[in-house]
């Protein structure tokens, strides 16, 4: 090309500066090596000529440089050719093409071996003077076509990520200095793209789209031997699909440095399809454990991964249990346990045992490890060739999950049998009971497993609770803790009932003193406890014994109490004595509490006179007169007899008397009494007729109308009549208890006691609201006077007295109380005091009119006179109170 440019420049220079110089005809330097059957073109130009710008050319050839020349073709004379060439010229096989005014090209479409020789380019002179050369000569060597391009057919399918080797055998027979180049290209549809060209100088030229991949090492050449050229495309992707071709080209290199392609051959190597990883990736899960695992065994599962390009893949392998990640090995081989999913499961291990083999191990499986296990594989391919990081960029090529492997963990429950036997059976109440619960034929009880027991009791029908409802007595849990049931907690705590484990496989229930309520059916239920994976105790099996009946013929305790009169009180003042004898049946040692009760008549209300506790504590009933307590005695007279004595029987003591006795037992010495049974005795009557005197009472007053400050008198007189040992003349055998009552009629009818005198003569004055004073005076043996000194308006009202006579009984010589007597009522009027009403005006004193003063004075005098006339003389000494004889 350089030469062409210089030739043009030269021609241009000649044209501009005109002639005078010598003509130069130029052809390429030879020898030209061309391949038989290939086109040949030889250029020829002329410079430094004069005459017309368009020059004519003629071509001649000869085998030898000195041989006779044959005319081939002329640019201006169609008849120029030698007959030996005229056919080829006519067919166009040989032609001359004008390139410029001063340049033509001789073209041979298919050069023949016989065309080898010397070629002359001639220019007829157009110069005014002959100067320079008018022709030029070049040698053409025609060699046979020995170029062979034979590619090796690549595999039609390559997996993604693997390498593709494109081998092509390009050879030629070396006779002359020729060179080879190889070009690999790929065709997709209509477009073909060069991948890489090697040669002809050993240089490498990459296709535009492959430059980066080649630079990164993703495409590399393998040095060939014997003409074999190999191109390796690494880590193919689906974009590398296509029809691959191989082109071999033979070149010559002329001595002016110009490379000329002399023959080329392109061969199709074959169609290559890249199989995506997902298509070839297969994941299979299999189990090498028995189909049914026992708890505690090891589960081993194998995940087999296969892919066409397995070595080229980076795998992330995860085991899923029921869809939850258990453990994962990431693509760098790090094992990650999923705490959130596997928290309750046994620890899992995951290791790679071989290429594409991943083993999951779960040691010490429990029921919770059962499930559907699957292996999930994520395949990554290194995009290395197209990344600058060099292997750092991973592309998820495919993800596949295996079919599920069912993992079953047998629920091997511990098995055992429970039998219940009575070691001790009570024959009657309060005898001990001992039941033994035996656990036999124990299998599958884990080493750390424990047994616990629950005792149950089903009371007899009608024993106070719902029949057929079993109640727990208590349990011993797997750790041996005693858990009492609410109903039995007191008795279990006190040790009266014990619940123990006497041997690893025997539990006992003991009653120290079996009660009637304890009768019924007993059952023991034994549970096996094991620690689950979280360490908590879990009940794994439970078996119940057959029920065992505990009962005896109950002899209900009966208690009979017989009351007998020991001393009869036939007259007032006599002593009454009663014996209460206790007889029991079906009752062992017992304590008794006694109530002595009475009632006036069989319909009357019941009074409790005295009580005696089983611990011999004596108490008086609330109804007893405190003054008579000395006369009341209740004692234990024998192991089963009590005596009640009532001294000085009065009329009011008449009625029925009996004992109410309760038997008490003790469960254990030192414990509290438990009520066993109780019963009442027959009733014993106190009845006597007192034919003593009969009494009457009357209340009199001389003056029932008094003025303020006067003294009012009320005389309560008693009269005796009927059979009396000693009549009223002698007061020694007669005494009275007298009480006065006042009923205010204004402002509500309230009756209050004013004063009293007891039979011993002791006077008692009751608190009153009035400013007046009272005194009591004994006028004689049968009359008592109440004096109201300095009467007030407030003393107006009704008065009456109540008397209780006491007399010395002729038959017994004892003081006897007669019935209470109530007098009729006397109304006392205290007149309105005029003087009092006048005090106030007087105080206003001096300024009052004389008339009024006189009137007042007169009135005052009149009034004073009136008052004085009705007043009895001086009040009695308050100390002059009666003094009654004492008994």
Ligand X SMILES: *[C@@H]1O[C@H](CO)[C@@H](O)[C@H](O)[C@H]1NC(C)=O
Residues of this chain that interact with ligand X (CB under 6 A) are 148, 150, 169, 171, 183, 197, 226-228, 247, 249, 261, 264, 266, 324-325, 328, 336, 338, 340-341, 417, 419, 440-441, 558-560, 677, 679, 752, 767-769
As measured in angstroms, the least distance from the Cβ of 151 to ligand X is: 11
Give the rounded distance of the alpha carbon of 638 from its chain centre: 69
CA distance 439 to 447: 16
As measured in angstroms, the least distance from the Cβ of 542 to ligand X is: 16
Which parts of 207-312 are beta strand (E)?
Answer: 219-222, 228-233, 242-253, 259-275, 282-287, 292-293, 299-306
CB 186 within 8 A of CB 206: no
CA nearest to 663, candidates 578, 595, 598, 590: 590
Return the H-helix or E-strand segment holding 560.
Answer: strand 558-567
As measured in angstroms, the least distance from the Cβ of 441 to ligand X is: 4
CB 327 within 8 A of CB 349: yes
Tokens 């439970």 found at:
542
Residue number with CB closer to ligand X (40 or 104): 40
As measured in angstroms, the least distance from the Cβ of 228 to ligand X is: 4
Residue number with CB closer to ligand X (543 or 620): 543
CA nearest to 808, candidates 862, 773, 759: 759
As measured in angstroms, the least distance from the Cβ of 833 to ligand X is: 21
Residue number with CB closer to ligand X (188 or 876): 188
Residue number with CB closer to ligand X (340 or 627): 340
What's 879's DSSP letter? Answer: T
As measured in angstroms, the least distance from the Cβ of 65 to ligand X is: 33
As measured in angstroms, the least distance from the Cβ of 233 to ligand X is: 19
Residue number with CB closer to ligand X (441 or 500): 441
**Which residues touch 269 (CB under 8 Å, ≥6 apart)?**
151, 152, 153, 154, 166, 168, 243, 244, 245, 246
**Which residues touch 226 (CB under 8 Å, ≥6 apart)?**
169, 171
CA nearest to 25, candidates 121, 101, 98: 121
Residue number with CB closer to ligand X (249 or 796): 249
Residue number with CB closer to ligand X (748 or 851): 748
Return the H-helix or E-strand segment holding 835.
Answer: helix 834-843
Asked if the bond preceding 31 is cis, omega within 30° of 0, the reply is yes
As measured in angstroms, the least distance from the Cβ of 504 to ligand X is: 16
As measured in angstroms, the least distance from the Cβ of 18 to ligand X is: 43
**Which residues touch 575 (CB under 8 Å, ≥6 apart)?**
567, 569, 645, 646, 647, 648, 649
Which pairing describes strands 607-612 and 618-620: parallel, antiparallel, or unpaired?
antiparallel
Residue number with CB closer to ligand X (230 or 496): 230
CB 328 within 8 A of CB 358: no
As measured in angstroms, the least distance from the Cβ of 251 to ligand X is: 9
CA nearest to 356, candidates 285, 300, 298: 285
Residue number with CB closer to ligand X (259 or 760): 259
Helices (H) and strands (E) in the chain, counts: 8, 62
Residue number with CB closer to ligand X (284 or 768): 768
């Amino acid at each position: 090309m350089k030469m062409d440019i210089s030739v043009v420049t030269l021609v241009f220079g000649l044209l501009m500066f005109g002639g005078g110089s010598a003509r130069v005809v130029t052809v390429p330097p030879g020898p030209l090596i061309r391949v038989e059957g290939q086109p040949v073109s030889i250029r020829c130009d002329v410079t430094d000529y004069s005459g017309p710008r368009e020059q004519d050319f003629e071509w001649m050839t000869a085998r030898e440089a000195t041989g006779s020349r044959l005319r081939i073709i002329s640019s201006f004379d169609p008849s120029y050719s030698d007959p030996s060439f005229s056919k080829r010229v006519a067919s166009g096989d040989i032609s001359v093409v004008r390139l410029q005014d001063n340049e033509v090209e001789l073209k041979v479409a298919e050069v023949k071996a016989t065309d080898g020789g010397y070629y002359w380019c001639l220019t007829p002179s157009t110069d005014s003077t002959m100067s320079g050369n008018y022709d030029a000569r070049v040698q053409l060597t025609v060699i046979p076509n020995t170029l062979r391009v034979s590619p090796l057919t690549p595999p039609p399918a390559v997996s993604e990520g693997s390498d593709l080797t494109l081998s092509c055998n390009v050879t030629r027979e070396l006779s002359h200095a020729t060179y080879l180049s190889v070009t690999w290209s790929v065709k997709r549809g209509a477009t073909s793209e060069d991948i890489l060209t090697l040669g002809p100088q050993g240089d490498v030229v990459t296709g535009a789209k492959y430059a980066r991949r080649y630079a990164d090492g993703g495409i590399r050449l393998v040095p060939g031997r014997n003409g074999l050229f190999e191109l390796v495309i690494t880590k193919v992707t689906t974009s590398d699909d296509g029809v691959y071709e191989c082109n071999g080209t033979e070149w010559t290199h002329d001595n002016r440095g110009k490379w000329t392609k002399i023959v080329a051959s392109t061969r199709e190597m074959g169609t290559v399809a890249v199989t995506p990883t997902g298509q070839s990736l297969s994941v299979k899960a299999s189990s090498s454990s028995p189909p049914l695992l026992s708890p505690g065994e090891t589960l081993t599962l194998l995940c087999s991964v296969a892919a066409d390009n397995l070595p080229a893949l980076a795998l992330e392998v995860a085991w899923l249990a029921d869809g939850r990640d258990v453990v994962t090995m990431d693509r760098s081989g790090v094992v990650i346990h999923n705490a959130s999913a596997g928290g309750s499961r046994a620890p899992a291990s995951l290791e790679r045992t071989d290429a594409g083999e991943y083993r999951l191990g779960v040691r010490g499986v429990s029921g919770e490890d059962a499930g559907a296990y699957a292996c999930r594989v994520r395949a990554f391919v290194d995009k290395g060739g197209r990344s600058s990081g060099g292997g750092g960029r991973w592309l998820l090529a495919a993800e596949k999950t295996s079919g599920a492997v069912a993992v079953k963990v047998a629920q091997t429950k511990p098995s055992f049998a429970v039998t219940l036997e009575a070691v001790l059976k009570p024959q009657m109440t309060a005898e001990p009971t001992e039941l033994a619960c035996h656990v036999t034929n124990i299998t599958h009880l884990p080493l750390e497993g424990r047994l616990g027991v629950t005792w149950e009791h089903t009371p007899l029908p009608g024993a106070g609770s719902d029949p057929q409802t079993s109640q727990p007595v208590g349990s011993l849990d797997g750790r041996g803790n005693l858990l009492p049931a609410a109903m039995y907690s007191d008795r279990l705590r006190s040790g009266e009932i014990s619940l123990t484990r006497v041997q690893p496989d025997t539990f006992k229930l003991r009653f120290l003193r079996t009660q009637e309520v304890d009768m019924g059916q007993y059952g023991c239920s034994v549970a096996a406890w094991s620690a689950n994976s979280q360490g908590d105790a879990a009940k794994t099996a439970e078996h119940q014994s057959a029920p065992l009946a505990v009962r005896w013929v109950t002899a209900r305790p009966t208690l009979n109490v017989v009351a007998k009169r020991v001393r009869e009180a036939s007259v007032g003042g006599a002593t009454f004595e009663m014996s209460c004898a206790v007889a029991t049946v079906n009752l062992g040692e017992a304590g008794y509490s006694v109530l002595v009760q009475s009632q006036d008549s069989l319909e009357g209300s019941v009074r409790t006179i005295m009580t005696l506790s089983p611990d011999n504590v004596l108490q008086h009933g609330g109804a007893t007169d405190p003054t008579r307590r000395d006369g009341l005695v209740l004692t234990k007279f024998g192991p089963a007899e009590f005596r009640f004595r009532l001294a000085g029987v009065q009329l009011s003591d008449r009625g029925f008397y009996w004992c109410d006795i309760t038997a008490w037992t003790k469960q254990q010495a030192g414990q509290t009494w438990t009520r066993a049974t109780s019963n009442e005795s027959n009733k014993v009557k106190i009845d006597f007729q007192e034919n003593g005197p009969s009494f009457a009472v009357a209340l009199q007053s001389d003056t029932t109308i008094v003025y303020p400050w006067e003294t009012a008198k009320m005389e309560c007189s008693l009269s005796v009549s009927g059979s009396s040992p000693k009549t009223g003349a002698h007061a020694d055998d007669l005494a009275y208890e007298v009480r006065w009552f006042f009923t205010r009629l204004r402002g509500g009818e309230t009756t209050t006691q004013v004063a009293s005198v007891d039979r011993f003569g002791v006077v008692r004055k009751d608190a009153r609201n009035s400013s007046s004073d009272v005194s009591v005076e004994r006028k004689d043996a049968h009359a008592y006077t109440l004096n109201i000194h300095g009467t007030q308006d407030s003393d107006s009202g009704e008065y009456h007295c109540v008397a209780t006579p006491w007399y010395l009984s002729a038959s017994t010589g004892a003081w006897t109380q007669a019935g209470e007597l109530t007098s009729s009522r006397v109304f006392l009027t205290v007149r309105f005091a005029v003087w009092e009403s006048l005090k106030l005006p007087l105080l206003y004193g001096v300024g009052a009119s004389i008339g009024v003063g006189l009137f007042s004075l007169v009135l005052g005098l009149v009034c004073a006179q009136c008052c004085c006339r009705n007043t009895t003389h001086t009040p009695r000494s308050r100390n002059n109170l009666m003094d009654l004889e004492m008994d």
